[in-house]
Structure 1
Amino acid sequence: MKYDFKTLVSRKGTGSEKWEQMYAWNPQVGDDVVPFSVADMELKSPPELIDGLKRFLDNAVLGYTMPYDGFYDAVIGWQKTKHNWNIKKEWIVNTPGVVDAFYAAMRAFTNPGDGVIIFKPVYYPFSMAIDDNERELVNCPLINTNGYYTIDYDKFDELAKEPKNKLLIFCSPHNPVGRVWNKEELERVAEIAIKNDLIVVSDEIWNDLIMPGYDHTVFATVNEQLNDRLITCTAPSKTFNLAGLAISNIIISNENLRKEFKKAIDVVRGGTVNILGYKACEIGYTKCEGWLEEVIKLVDTNQKVVKKFFEDNFPKIKAPLIEGTYLQWVDFNALKMTNKLLEKFMHMEAEFFLDEGYIFGIEGSGYERINLAAPTHVIEKALKRLEKVLKKVYK
């Protein structure tokens, strides 16, 4: 392996969101405990990225910045070579993050009281954006068949027909259940959205993190008619662990839709991206594909480690393999604990810090989301810690 995926970099005292959160939950945890909650990586950054930023900073003037040709070329080239998606420079709208895009789309294409459809359990800022903007959350729960999730098309069609429901926020690949929707599934969602005049926000921030044997299909490529009502959210942040540099590329081919979206972003000055965000995106998309390929192999190894751990030691706890993202969705309902009791057990007894399933919706009750983007030996150590306390409560 060309890259160092064994060294653990302690983020204690650096302002890391999930590390600070861990110490707030349990101030007594040792320095060898690592959180697996918030979705950024516990891996050293791509060396090509760090070296590229260093060279850039040697001569940079850190003033006001806007997108430039090299940046656009990198984004367009990545989408073409990685996803077989031909986009144009003028389609790209920059925001600090995809969550900003959810909020902007809410303001641009709906009014207070309008319904917004989501498929729970799902990334919780979907719900936050709906509630904070005083829209009505319309849930179309995914169908869970022994840990494998599919879309309830009949329910979705029924909800889409309601005139008050104006917008769909769609997660592809899906966080937290790890599904990579296939082309046929996406075509059915597109047909229902088009037929019922829904605007669609497709969150594809995980589109580069696909496990071996699976392929991501860009939603914009499945039905030409869909593009007149589609906002596609992409970013290098999950791909190259750049969340702290706040750069996202929101791709909107329909000019009128794009104008309305930009108005909503401009109202809150939400289109400002920092100079290092642009440069890091360019470097990631042009220099770091090899690093990404190795990360995917690591995540695939780690998910199999987790799955085998539960199968061998606690078979009633289910950890299905994921198709995409680096987040494994583990079913702890066999412990018959309430959400709060499970949370306390994980934080205080196991010192195993994850994202609690219930924050993704009631459908996530009894589940935990494990971030697999960490050195394998670090995950194995955490599982050994978990094993000691699980033996006391597992029946």
Structure 2
Amino acid sequence: MTFSFDKQIERRNTRAVKWDLVKALYGSEDVLPMWVADMDFEVPPAVKDALTERAKHGVFGYTFTDNALQDTITDWLEYKHDWKVKSASIQYSPGVIATLHMAIQTFTEKGDKVLIQTPVYPPFYEIVKSHDRELVKSQLIVKENKYEIDFEDFESKLQQGVRAFILCNPHNPVGRVWTQAELEKIVALCKKYHVLILADEIHADLVYQPNKHIPIAKIDEDMEDQIITCMSPTKTFNLAGLQVSYAIVPDKQKRDALEKTFHKQGMHILNTMGITALDAAYNSGREWLEHLIGQLQTNIDYVDNAFANHPKVNVFRPEGTYLIWLDFRELELSQDELKEFLQKEAKVGLNDGASFGEEGSGFMRMNIACPLEIVKEGTTRIIDALKK
């Protein structure tokens, strides 16, 4: 089957965060939005058909998850990541960030230290601070235009009494897909210092050759019970608005404790349409995803090549995700000046690099999960503004 990713779908007036909040966020309707991490592509036909049929039924009462849905998830994880997961280890959730919030509440106490690697997805900061935990940061370092883990710093931070570490893999925003060797070092150090690993692997399915996503829970069987892995079909198949995800929690005691916290917050049932979409996507979306990866690769190639002749912008080519980390530091602008330049001169709405932490100052994040013509338009607007 062939799939088209060049269709420009009008998303305005659908309450789309990405498109309908442009004026409120960027001050003008003519700014091209390339920011929030959802796609401008239609979902796989099988998902659209399944949701349509479910809507035709006309009754949307309470919906439960069953063994068939568990099998769908375990089959997907084995197919996509060669990861054999016991169905009993699955914990459902409306979202990965919700699960991380619940895990911090469940497995740490007020004042406990929680480690993150910066720059990183902005909600990670809120997850730690909103529960009165102490935020500990280990800054990623750049070597040969590629972000790496500073393991000396990482270990020194763990030595300070860190209780939990939130891993982002593939990493948002820098686009790294951590290698087997890197993951082995992480696991060994967390094992040494008895640190719980909370892994956000929501972009796991969106990885480009020759890179390969390896669930960190596969690294060491002895550490499996000290790892909670958060995953979802929402980034993969553009289902973010349906709020459906799951965590893999092998240790029954931890799983029961986490489930208890979810129930305390009244979060114990999934969205009916979310269940329908997950089931259809994982069962019938494999070929569509292969084509999507090809389209995203084409879009990344275009951005990388377009900026190659413009030394004022450095592209960190992503190994995974559909997000490109752009380095504008050669422009020697303050962060406010950089934002104003992109909004008012280039007329492109990107994510503010500083929102990912102070280490993101001078950077911006670009979402390229849209038809190539939009990618070309946004890139051209930036380049033309730079020429001026």
1:119 aligns with 2:120: no
SS at match of 1:319: strand
1:240 alignment partner in structure 2: 237
Equivalence map 1:200-219=2 (5 Å):
200-219=197-216
Q: Sort the Cα spacing of 1:144 and 1:18 in 2 relative to 1 into closer, same or farther, 3 A.
A: same
How big is the shift at 1:212? 2.1
Measured in 2, the distance between the counterparts of 1:171 and 1:296 equals 20
How big is the shift at 1:27? 4.7
1:347 alignment partner in structure 2: 343
| CA deviations over 1:276-333 (Å, ceiling 9, x no partner) | 1011001000101111111111111111111111112x12311132110111111011
Equivalence map 1:1-395=2 (5 Å):
2-30=2-30, 34-59=32-57, 61-163=59-161, 165-312=162-309, 314-392=310-388
* TM-score normalized with structure 2 length: 0.97
Contact in 2 for aligned 1:246/1:274 (Cα 8 Å): yes
Which one-letter code corresponds to 2:271 in the other structure? Answer: N
Which one-letter code corresponds to 2:141 in the other structure? Answer: I
Contact in 2 for aligned 1:25/1:347 (Cα 8 Å): no
Measured in 1, the distance between the counterparts of 2:121 and 2:27 equals 27
Contact in 1 for aligned 2:26/2:349 (Cα 8 Å): no
Which one-letter code corresponds to 2:293 in the other structure? Answer: I
Contact in 2 for aligned 1:29/1:351 (Cα 8 Å): no
How big is the shift at 1:124? 0.9
| CA deviations over 1:90-142 (Å, ceiling 9, x no partner) | 11111110000111111011111111000001111110111111111100001
| CA deviations over 1:247-269 (Å, ceiling 9, x no partner) | 00111000111112112222112
SS at match of 1:28: coil
Measured in 1, the distance between the counterparts of 2:336 and 2:291 equals 37
Measured in 2, the distance between the counterparts of 1:220 and 1:197 equals 15
Contact in 2 for aligned 1:71/1:279 (Cα 8 Å): no
Measured in 2, the distance between the counterparts of 1:10 and 1:26 equals 19
Measured in 2, the distance between the counterparts of 1:354 and 1:21 equals 13
Measured in 2, the distance between the counterparts of 1:280 and 1:39 equals 18
SS at match of 2:349: coil
How big is the shift at 1:204? 0.5
Contact in 2 for aligned 1:53/1:280 (Cα 8 Å): yes
SS at match of 2:68: helix
Q: Sort the Cα spacing of 1:139 and 1:8 in 2 relative to 1 into closer, same or farther, 3 A.
A: same
| CA deviations over 1:171-222 (Å, ceiling 9, x no partner) | 0111111111111110000000011111110010000000121111111111
Measured in 1, the distance between the counterparts of 2:84 and 2:58 equals 31
* TM-score normalized with structure 1 length: 0.95
Measured in 2, the distance between the counterparts of 1:152 and 1:229 equals 22
Measured in 1, the distance between the counterparts of 2:267 and 2:68 equals 22
| More moved, 74-83 vs 144-153 | 144-153
Measured in 2, the distance between the counterparts of 1:391 and 1:282 equals 48
How big is the shift at 1:4? 1.6
Tell me the matched-pair count: 388
Measured in 2, the distance between the counterparts of 1:183 and 1:362 equals 29
| Aligned-residue RMSD, C-alpha | 1.3
Contact in 1 for aligned 2:138/2:153 (Cα 8 Å): yes
Measured in 1, the distance between the counterparts of 2:53 and 2:197 equals 40
Quote the sequence identity (%).
35
Which one-letter code corresponds to 2:278 in the other structure? Answer: C
How big is the shift at 1:57? 2.9
Structure 1 residue runs of 5 or longer lacking an equivalent are none
SS at match of 1:117: strand
Contact in 1 for aligned 2:174/2:316 (Cα 8 Å): no
Contact in 2 for aligned 1:65/1:274 (Cα 8 Å): yes
Structure 2 residue runs of 5 or longer lacking an equivalent are none
SS at match of 1:281: helix
Measured in 2, the distance between the counterparts of 1:3 and 1:35 equals 24
